[in-house]
Structure 1
């Protein structure tokens, strides 16, 4: 996968390796300084290990107008974006989403919402709550394949990534270390724990780290809520709807609120950030993904608040349309970056234990 982006990243990595001023900034620089020659796989690993906190850019003495013209966050972001497109399956879908992500997300939600409204006009199999609009059997028939497909697609992507970066057999200790780093968002805290420079060049902030944590933990709570509802339905013969004190509600409500708050926060940060320190061509895809996350969470909360009103069928159609879009587009959106970052952290844990 020899490209201009890889060549430019290699040039900048070699200069950074000679300078070593940013050695303590994040996990990228110890990994970078452990190499003398950078293969395509090395650069792909460094790119996915980078969390684009941008602290190294503002600390660097070789940025423009210096003749070296270093912009390592951008160089790695472009390699990272290219790797996601190259490893994705099917690859063509990933390239299309990155260039027109916001429009594709909007079109997908609209089309699937109309689809669910059309199903409703054909009649429901009956049931309480949401199942009076769309039967449980219909929901399972639609969403089970939509849930399995992205897992299959991402498994292919991860296998390609692991092969390209010369990944070794994984041990439990590697996984534990990687998950610990991801849970704390360690690489968004900066080398000294002050945060990153994503908002302003002279201001360290934890905002981006906290916004990511709100979205991540909100999503995990919502996933746990859905899992709890599934267990109650099949194992205990307790179908929805569930009362406010039930486990699905106790997990889902705070999860939805965290996702809404975190998504809005991330969108605000992205609008303020310098696009030239990331991959400019991927901005629309990234914003489309965050907007899709926001819509999933927001419509879920609105359904809870207005589930007994005449607006429920419309809200349900929009919510289901956004959830189905989210599942099917996951391998091509920035949702996939969580899997790549985790794989990169596992690979980094291997490197540290080998050296």
Structure 2
């Protein structure tokens, strides 16, 4: 990890530890105040606990033009991004995406869509509905490895993170606590329950919390749709296409709507926010990822609406290209932050239990 980023985060953390004005703001400050000195692993843990709500910055009396020049949200955001890049496997891909994320995502979507159109052109028909364009076996052959390999990459990354932050054997109680906190997004309520100041210094808002929840639950519903369809296909012998009132369709449509709305809302909030309070070097990559994730949900909805039209083959190729791009890039984009954040919440619950 980059030494200069850790040194600056350590300087600011030590000042915050002496001040303690923001003690109840979020999970970061109780964890920060539990330490007297900060090893690199401590700073990595604090950075991944931080949700960048920015309430501490606007409440701080030591921000610029004070000589301390504190900007803890930005310092932790830079350490957080650097930790994802440093622990990622293979590492060079992560650093490249954060600087050229939008262009990489767009190129891959176009490339994969062209690949799917080429597969159709040389003959892959083998079923009804979408399978008349790309057979079920062809989809499995393409998507199974591109789903499993990123999971292996994420597992390697999380193992490195866990070792860095001094994590111990996980207890079920710690995991349950972490999932509960993640599900409620309670750290985006900034301690007092009124929300955070992400969009505006003078206004508390639950907006960022709500769009995060829309994205998270939308993605989980889409994943549930695919999982249920897999069980129905292999376990029950019920093959696609499925009707609207089937579980795969209900989960998929509702998940696509939530995912699209959440990603649009997230982009709007980021455009309103002050870039200097986050990691400005990763701003383009963050926007590129959010747009990609939103496009996956939106293209799936369009495909559902126009699935019986002449546009279906092209729409299917574009949608599958976006989904495949999302899978391939998962370990190297902000998608990975969900895994790191959950691991950091488990480690924090562990710290509290053992202290």
Whether these two folds match at TM > 0.5 is yes
Equivalence for 1:98: 98
Deviations 1:23-76 (A, max 9, x none): 000000000000000000000000000000000000000000000000000000
Q: Deviations over 1:155-181 (max 9, x none)?
A: 000000000011011000000000000
Contact 2:195–2:204 (Cα < 8 Å) also in 1: yes
Identify the residue that residue 281 of structure 2 maps to in structure 1.
281
Partner of 2:153: 153
2:62 alignment counterpart: 62
What secondary structure does 1:219 align onto? helix
CA distance in 1, matches of 2:153, 2:226: 22
Give the distance between the partners of 2:288 and 2:305, measured in 1 at CA.
26
**1:56-205 alignment, distance < 5 Å:** 56-205=56-205
State yes or no: 1:344 paired with 2:344.
yes
How far is the alpha carbon of 1:190 from its aligned partner?
1.0
Q: CA–CA distance in 1 between the matches of 2:354 and 2:238? A: 50
Partners of 2:209 and 2:136 lie apart in 1 by 38
| Cα separation, 1, equivalents of 2:126 and 2:227 | 23
Give the conservation status (yes or no) of the 8 Å contact 1:57–1:63: yes
Q: Which residue of 1 aligns with 2:327?
A: 327
Q: Is the 8 A contact 2:197 2:204 kept in 1?
A: yes
The 2-side partners of 1:157 and 1:2 are apart by 17
* Corresponding residue number in structure 2 for 1:15: 15
State the match for 1:294 in structure 2: 294
TM-score normalised according to structure 2 size: 0.99
Matched, 1:303 2:299: no
Q: Deviation per CA, 1:111-143: give whole Å up to 9, x if none.
A: 000110111110123210000000001000000
CA offset digits 1:310-333 (Å, max 9, x no partner): 000000000000000000000001
SS at match of 1:197: coil
CA apart distance, 1:2? 5.4
Asked if the contact 2:88/2:154 (under 8 Å) is kept, the reply is yes
CA distance, structure 1, for counterparts of residue 126 and residue 66 of structure 2: 69
Q: Retained in 2: the 8 A contact 1:113–1:320?
A: yes
Runs (4+) of structure 1 exceeding 3 A deviation are none
Q: What is the alpha-carbon root mean square deviation over aligned residues?
A: 0.6
Q: 1:2 to 1:199 in 2, by over 3 A?
A: closer
Confirm or deny that 1:49 pairs with 2:43: no
CA distance in 1, matches of 2:66, 2:176: 42
Give the match's secondary structure for 2:197. strand
For the Cα contact (< 8 Å) 2:263–2:290, is it kept in 1? yes
For residues 87 and 13 of structure 1, what CA distance do their matches in structure 2 show? 22
1:210 maps to 210
Describe the superposition over 1:256-310 as per-residue Cα deviations: whole angstroms up to 9, x where unpaired: 1000000000010111111100100100111111011111101100111000000
- Give ranges in structure 2 of 5+ residues lacking alignment: none
Match of 1:239 in 2: 239
| Secondary structure of 1:170's aligned partner | coil
State how far apart, in whole Å, the 1-side matches of 2:328 and 2:5 are: 28
Query: For residue 27 of structure 1, what is the aligned residue in structure 2?
Result: 27
Q: Secondary structure at the match of 1:196?
A: coil
Q: Given that residues 2 and 40 in structure 1 are in contact (C-alpha distance below 8 angstroms), is that contact kept between their aligned partners in structure 2?
A: no
Q: Is the 8 A contact 2:12 2:70 kept in 1?
A: yes
| Secondary structure in 1 matching 2:140 | helix
Aligned residues: 355
Aligned partners of 1:264 and 1:294 also within 8 Å: yes
Secondary structure in 1 aligned to 2:239? coil
The answer to whether the 8 Å contact 2:44/2:165 transfers is: yes
Distance 2:226 2:326 in 1: 15
Asked if the contact 1:110–1:321 (Cα under 8 Å) also holds between the matched residues in 2, the reply is yes
